[in-house]
Amino acid sequence: MAGILAMTGHFCVMSYRLFVIRLRSLHATQEHKSARTNKIHSPFSTGAQRPLHTSYLLLSTPNMLQSDLNTIQADALIAIAAATDERTLDNARVEFLGKSGRLTQASSVMRDLPKEEKPAAGQMLNETRQAITSALDDKKIALIAEADALAVADLDLTLPGRTLPAGAIHPLTAMQDRVTKIFRQLGFALATGPEVETEWHCFDALNTPADHPARNESDTFYFDSGKLLRTHTSSVQVRTMEGNKPPVRIIAPGSAYRRDEIDATHLSVFNQIEGLYVAENVTLPDLKGTLEFFFKALYGESTEVRFRPHFFPFTEPSFEIDVKLEATGKEAKWIEIAGCGMVDPAVFDAVGNERGDDAYDSTKITGFAFGMGLERLTMIEYGISDIRHLIENDQRFLTQFA
């Protein structure tokens, strides 16, 4: 008899617990139900009567929880299917999955369920949540596809597209690439150096005396520190010899700066490309053969090239190079285009003193150097009459090279 009374008491406690769980679920679901209601006395009130859906009176097994979850899922799928835009779709999400949503409220019963019933209930809740979430994602994708289709509904996809303007490499860059390619075929490597230089690298090491006009402040941009903007890329040749033993075979393209008045043939900032070849037994015929090959590769095999004696402080002997070119409708004429010469022994001696060794012993090695302006090469190639066109970024000019 005592055992029967104990079991009866346990059953009453369990029934009351499940009854309380159903009442807690009522607030999240009763407004979505349209079935008939009964009136009972709530254990949470002092005798007041509250309406309660009939099904909630029967929730005492996982099967009943599954039934309610099926109802929530069915209502959610109907709401999602009825959504016509992202706003109404988000409203459906909040209604069922939000912090106060129907599924969220239903999941709150987990804390009051017996331990042995929680795994089954948790699995049912997760399956319902996944089904609703998947439906939301699918509907969102469908709404986006509908919006995209609507956006192009009035477009005639058979019409030809609009032609975009064609771009092109700047003529100076194109010329530098061509020049570099030709010299690479001859075994020259590419070298670079700083544009802010010391007087030693820009002048002293290149056998340029202190009273040379190029060192005057009226011709060169100096800083208060005594450094300057390089007036040529020959300083790269000096730095290359400082850091490398012979043989050296380089070209050095880059910007140079001089206090020139800007006009149709002069700029204060321009581009040079200089070359240096140093080794044993380098001769003047090597210099002439190299540059003749270059200009014929650049302007055509029939191009005539001549060397005129000249003076540069860092080469001896020195030459200026002229190329005979013919403009359309005009008589061919000689055009000065570059300078060159055999490296002066004094340059090797200055580099050797700086290095502290005899790698550049002027009695054992020789070399040649040359330099030319990229703007001049470009103007000759394309028939440009004013150097300023190359820096003005005028689209009417640049589109000719596209």
pLDDT tens string 129-154: 899 899 999 999 999 998 888 888 88
Range of lowest pLDDT (5-14, 18-27, 55-64, 384-393):
5-14
Q: pLDDT for 81-111, tens place per residue?
A: 999 888 998 898 888 888 888 888 888 777 7
What is the per-residue pLDDT for 181? Answer: 96
> Taking the model in full, what pTM does it have?
0.60
What is the per-residue pLDDT for 191? Answer: 95
What is the per-residue pLDDT for 13? Answer: 35
Q: pLDDT for 340-364, tens place per residue?
A: 999 999 999 999 999 999 999 999 9
Beta pairing class for 196-197 and 228-229: antiparallel
CA atoms lying within 13 Å on the CB side of residue 282: 25
The residues of the chain that CATH labels 3.30.930.10 are 172-401
Question: Sorting pLDDT into bands at 50, 70 and 90, what band is 165?
Answer: confident
Percentage above 70 pLDDT, the chain = 83
* H or E stretch covering 392: none
What is the per-residue pLDDT for 106? Answer: 81
Question: Sorting pLDDT into bands at 50, 70 and 90, what band is 18?
Answer: very low
d(CA 85, CA 37): 35
Please tell me the CATH superfamily of domain 172-401, with its number: Bira Bifunctional Protein; Domain 2 (3.30.930.10)
What is the per-residue pLDDT for 37? Answer: 39
Does the pLDDT at position 294 exceed 60?
yes
226-244 average pLDDT score: 94
Q: pLDDT for 358-397, tens place per residue?
A: 999 999 999 999 999 999 999 988 889 899 999 998 988 9
On the question of a cis peptide bond just before residue 119, with omega within 30 degrees of 0, the verdict is: no
Q: Give the number of other CB atoms < 10 A from CB of residue 195.
A: 15
Q: pLDDT for 177-208, tens place per residue?
A: 999 999 999 999 999 999 999 999 999 999 98
Q: Mean pLDDT of all residues in the chain?
A: 82
Burial (0-12, 13-18, 19+ Cβ within 10 Å), 90 = middle
What is the per-residue pLDDT for 59? Answer: 42
Strand order in the sheet with 366-373: 189-190, 248-257, 269-279, 366-373, 333-343, 315-325, 304-312
Question: Sorting pLDDT into bands at 50, 70 and 90, what band is 323?
Answer: very high
8 Cβ contact list (under 8 Å, min separation 6): none
d(CA 402, CA 394): 13
d(CA 398, CA 376): 17
Question: Sorting pLDDT into bands at 50, 70 and 90, what band is 328?
Answer: low
